Structure 1
Amino acid sequence: MTKKTSTITFRIDENYEKGLRKEAEEKRISLNTLANQIFGDHVELEQFMQKFGMVEMSKGAFKEILDSLDEKNIINLAKSIGTKEPRDFILFKWKKLTPDSVSEFIKIYFEHCGYGMCDMQRDESNNAVSIHHSFGKKGSIFLKAFLEAIVQSTLEKEADVTITENSVSLMFSN
């Protein structure tokens, strides 16, 4: 299916143009493709994040917080965050709680917030998510509890989660 496009003309600051052209060149994509990605991110995510009151944090700051907590507190924090915020955000953006909206939230959340590289696979019966991160064992413990809480609080399902030092794999049924 081909997406409909439209042509628009507008002016931008010369310095922004230079920066955008440089980024497009580095990514080896056209300026048009980069602009579509930027506009798409704004329409699909940024405006919802702003309206919802999301705050960004550096990876270093997040790791410091995790390093200052013991395992029990990490799990409690992750469960608390994973139970409240995702459910509200999913309902705010997609208006319904489905395996697809939960999977899409997880993908967007990880890509936007920088918790790690996210790979997702879906078929007719299961959703599988793999995340590679750089937060160490405590990061894996946090992300495991966080993802389990998301699936439980939104879909009322249990997730099968496996962790290593710097990765988390999650599977839940449709």
Structure 2
Amino acid sequence: MTNHTEAATFRFDKAMLDQLRLEAEQKQINLNTLLNQIVRSHIEWYANAARAGFIPIRKGVIKRLFDSLTKEQVDALAEDVARGLTDETMMIMTKERTEESIFELFERWIRVSGFNYRHEISEDSRILIIQHNMGENWSHYLSRLMEHAASGFMNIKPETQITENALFIRIRRVRR
């Protein structure tokens, strides 16, 4: 599918535009690319996140909270949160409820959270590797969240491996 582009002209406050130019330079990309990234991020996440129940919170707060939980509490929380990924949440954030949209939502959240990650899609599986630096309980939570979401939405169980600061998830595609 080809992306069609269209030219548009916008006016920015000079100080804001200078900051955008500096950020583009630091990222070694042009201003147009940076603005496209910002707009895409807004449309894919920020425009609807609050209505879907997401809030911004510092990583340090989440890490401290998760460090204080037992594995059983983390499991229960992951199950509750996965149950909360209702059709309504999926429709607000991705406009559909499919295997693809679940991964799309999860990947958008990983990206806006600033985690390093790699997403590989092959003919027989989908792999997500996430480096979060937030501790073993956070790894455990994310793995259990994906397990519950995958079994609830797709009726499959992902393979997961966790370390203190990273997570590996593989979902094998069902051959029909």
Within a 5 Å distance, the mapping from 1:23-62 to structure 2 comes to 23-62=23-62
Cα pair distance change 1:36/1:113, threshold 3 Å: same
Distance 2:3 2:95 in 1: 23
Tell me the TM-score normalized by structure 2: 0.88
Distance 1:42 1:141 in 2: 29
Tell me the TM-score normalized by structure 1: 0.89
CA RMSD of aligned residues (A): 1.8
Q: Is the 1:86–1:105 contact (alpha carbons within 8 Å) kept by the matching residues of 2?
A: no
Name whichever of 15-24 and 86-95 sits farther off: 86-95
Q: Output the amino acid matched with 1:52.
A: A
Cα pair distance change 1:112/1:162, threshold 3 Å: same
Q: 1:64 offset after TM fit, Å?
A: 0.9
Q: Is the 1:87–1:150 contact (alpha carbons within 8 Å) kept by the matching residues of 2?
A: no
Q: Output the amino acid matched with 1:171.
A: R
Indicate whether 1:123 and 2:118 are aligned: no
Cα pair distance change 1:144/1:86, threshold 3 Å: farther
Unaligned runs of 5+ in 1: none
Q: Is the 2:159–2:170 contact (alpha carbons within 8 Å) kept by the matching residues of 1?
A: yes
Unaligned runs of 5+ in 2: none
Q: Which has the higher helix share?
A: 1
Q: Output the amino acid matched with 1:5.
A: T
Q: 1:128 offset after TM fit, Å?
A: 1.3
Q: Output the amino acid matched with 1:132.
A: Q
Distance 2:53 2:141 in 1: 22
Q: 1:123 offset after TM fit, Å?
A: 1.9
- Per-residue deviation, residues 5-37 of structure 1 (Å, max 9, x unmatched): 212112111111111011001001111111111
Equivalenced residue count is: 173
Q: Percent identity?
A: 28
